[in-house]
Amino acid sequence: MRPWLLLAAALLPGAAAAGHDVSLGVTAVTLTNGGVYNVTAPRLGLEAAYAYELGSWRLGGGLRWAPSGRGNLPVEVYARALLSTKLGRWQPAVGPELGVSGLPVIISPVGGFPDDLSRQQAMQLGPAYVAVHAAPLRFAFQRFTVSALEVQWGTALNQPGSTLRLQFGLVHLGVTL
């Protein structure tokens, strides 16, 4: 059989029953635009997520809370659609995420920068973002799931490409209800 047929068969929704998955995790988020707001230290946070599993699709969303650092409201709300496959216990997933973030903050420049620079930087850091989320190390053990080293790469929606959003899901523990 051709390799692309095997891939299509693995990714198409199968006879698996739908399930509800809830998980808790620890995450690290870095936001930068390469300018004055250039924070290289990640913001550690907690994440609570829900996913509705239907065959190969995981549809859901969640809430992230990253209290470290400055910001108006250190919370993110997101929705995502992940395409997943099951190879024994290994169940990697990848797909888009769309969210609203309160994490971006503007650090006032010091030392000879124009007065309106903070306002210009703020225009680049809109609250809505889009990202690609990948969970390559996701494993299922009966009703329980463990995921480590998830990666997410994205940008703000108001000016795509003006900012970089990089997130690492350190560990997520979940249960299927």
18-176 topology per CATH: Porin (2.40.160)
Q: CA 50, 9, 12, 17 torsion: positive or negative?
A: negative
User: Position 116: which residue type?
Assistant: D
pLDDT tens-digit readout, 65-74: 988 765 567 8
Domain extents for the chain?
18-176
pLDDT tens-digit readout, 79-129: 999 999 999 999 999 999 999 988 765 555 566 666 666 666 666 677 899
Strands (E), 1-92: 19-32, 43-54, 57-65, 75-84
Hey, how many other C-beta atoms are within 10 angstroms of the C-beta on 42?
18
Predicted pLDDT of residue 17 = 47
Phi then psi for residue 29, to 5 deg, are: -120, 135
Specify the DSSP class assigned to residue 112. S
